[in-house]
């Protein structure tokens, strides 16, 4: 199994209150990272994404150095690393996936409720997409556990339900996947995330079509 494109992108948008709240400059940095991530992921040609994500990962690392106590920026550092891994593909992406896992774990240690539990969703996605032992650290049982935590914090979220649906689909649980996708598509718009929302909803619609084909 190889790590595939965009699937790691994981990505929830509404910042909940954090133990270490970002100042205005930090909020601006977070918004810039989110917007640039969406542009790369949904607008750039696939051949240009790897280099663009590499550049964005450097910017995210600098932002986390300036704001070492920000769970939100740590989570987005992980999101960018994981989508870079997806753009890179193959076993060469495993090192990036490991770095992303560390960033998500550090985010959760700072504040597990930041970004409505985004790090739980992102980390769950890594665990079901990365190959298992002896190649990688993938673990479907761990992914299921993390999704449970993510959905307790964000039961109606676009990303939490989309990625949970993708996991369920891959496990052959098609009716449960359809229910999760219906929730994802009914999720409210996220302020400042129009491009990301539109792209994720298109992905959800494509996955729903595949689910319906399996259920016919």
Tens digits of residue pLDDT in 82-126? 999 999 998 789 999 999 999 999 999 999 999 999 999 999 999
What pLDDT shows up at residue 22? 83
Residue-averaged pLDDT of the chain: 91
pLDDT greater than 90 at residue 51: yes
**Closest-CA residue to 13 (of 115, 88, 98):** 115
* In the chain, % of residues over pLDDT 90: 86
Query: What is the sign of the dihedral through the CA atoms of 139, 140, 141 and 142?
Result: positive
Q: How many Å apart are CA 27 and CA 191, to the nearest integer?
A: 13
Domain 24-215 architecture = Alpha Horseshoe (1.25)
What is the C-alpha separation between 147 and 189, in angstroms, rounded? 21
């Amino acid at each position: 199994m190889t790590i595939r494109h965009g699937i790691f992108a994981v990505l929830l948008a509404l910042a909940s209150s954090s133990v270490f709240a970002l100042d205005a400059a930090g909020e601006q940095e977070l918004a810039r990272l989110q917007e640039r991530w969406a542009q790369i992921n949904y607008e750039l040609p696939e051949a240009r994404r790897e280099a663009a994500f590499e550049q964005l990962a450097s910017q995210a690392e600098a932002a986390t150095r300036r704001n070492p106590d920000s769970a939100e920026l740590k989570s987005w550092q992980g999101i960018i690393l994981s989508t870079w891994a997806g753009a890179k593909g193959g076993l060469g992406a495993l090192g990036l996936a490991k770095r992303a896992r560390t960033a998500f774990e550090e985010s959760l240690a700072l504040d597990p409720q930041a970004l409505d539990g985004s790090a739980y969703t992102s980390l769950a996605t890594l665990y079901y997409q990365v190959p298992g032992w002896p190649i990688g650290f993938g673990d479907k049982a761990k992914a299921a556990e993390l999704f449970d935590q993510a959905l307790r914090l964000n039961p109606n979220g676009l990303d939490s339900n989309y990625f949970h649906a993708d996991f369920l689909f891959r496990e052959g649980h098609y009716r449960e996947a359809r229910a999760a996708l219906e929730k994802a598509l009914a999720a409210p718009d996220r302020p400042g995330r129009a491009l990301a929302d539109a792209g994720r909803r298109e992905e959800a619609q494509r996955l729903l079509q595949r689910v319906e084909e399996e259920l016919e």
